[in-house]
Amino acid sequence: HRERPLSMELLEEMDLSKSMAVYRDRFADAGDFTFFFVGNFTLGGIEPLVRTYLGGLPSTGREETWRDVGIEAPKGVVEKTVYRGIEPKSQTSLIFTGPFEYDGWRNNFELDAMTSVLQIKLREGMREDLGGSYGVSVGSGVSHYPNEDYRITLRFGSDPKRTEELTRVVFEQIDSLRTFGTTEEYVTKVREMRKREREVALKENGFWVGGLQMTHFNGIDPRLLMKYGDMVDSLTVEAVQAAARKYFDTENYVHVTLLPEAAAGGE
């Protein structure tokens, strides 16, 4: 979130007249808009429609830009336990953040691939072997503006009595990936997953709209979208280990645990 998480109190502060004023201001000037079209059409067929419905939109010559509102991830190790609810289940989140060299391409992919390898390992270890997790997910994201940074988010649910045990397992797997790396077996699994996902995505208009928007906004050559398969094929176990070493800073993360209210009495 930009500043304040959404809540009922925040919704109560909304003002319809102010919201309408912002809406009208945003759409009073289309001069700095960028439009993307994908789908089954020809340039000759769509051009008169663009002239009719977009060419007449108001324009004042205003140029839009973003601004840095100064919201950054906390530094160091931050740990917090929250007691809410009555269901005998815990939820644990670990968020690792740090600076990132945004290239919109290989760095982004290797971070994603590394977290995918870790997710497979954690699912095997925590859910299948130990039987202690109700589900575990590992995801990553990167930002280009206002600062180039990354975020890795790990989440799992479990019996409240096993929260600490499973948290240790997570850190053990992270340490193993950083220290010893992984095997070709896991890298092959990630390659196959990404290829299947891309094969499906290429048939969806949403993928092309999102891809064109992303490359345009970040100044990336859109032709790289067609070379994704080559990058997937070139993924190595060495690259996965290097990414784990680079992005898992165990001196800089947020650790939040949600426990049922009844567990508060045990402290």
The arithmetic mean of pLDDT across residues 13-35, rounded, is: 92
Classify the phi-psi angles of 88: left when phi > 0, otherwise alpha if psi is within -120 to 50, otherwise beta.
beta
Q: What are phi and psi of 95, to 5 degrees?
A: -125, 120
Of residues 103, 215, 214, the one with CA closest to residue 148 = 103
Residue the block writes with tokens 């196959």: 192
String of DSSP letters for 56-121: TS---------------PPPSEEEEEEE--SSS-EEEEEEEEEE----SSHHHHHHHHHHHHHHHH
pLDDT at 213: 96
Half-sphere exposure of 188 (CA within 13 A, CB side): 3
C-alpha to C-alpha distance for 186 and 175, rounded to whole angstroms = 17
142-174 burial code (b ≥16 CB/10 A, e <16): bebeeeebbbbbbebbbebebbeebbebbeebb
DSSP 226: G
Q: pLDDT (tens digit, 9 = 90+) per residue, 194-222?
A: 999 999 999 999 999 999 999 999 999 99
Q: What is the mean pLDDT of residues 244-248?
A: 98
pTM (two decimals)? 0.88
Q: Cα–Cα distance between 81 and 258 in angstroms, integer?
A: 6
Q: What is the pLDDT of residue 33?
A: 92
Q: Which of the four pLDDT bands, split at 50, 70 and 90, describes residue 64?
A: confident
CA distances from 147 to 2, 71, 110, 255 (A): 14, 10, 19, 23
Question: Which domains does the chain possess?
Answer: 15-65 (no CATH), 77-266 (3.30.830.10)
- Report the candidate in 262, 229, 243 with the shortest Cα–Cα distance to residue 100: 243
For the stretch 88-139, pLDDT in tens is: 999 999 999 999 999 888 999 999 999 999 999 999 988 766 776 678 999 9
Residue 202's identity, in one-letter code, is L
3-state secondary structure of 244: helix
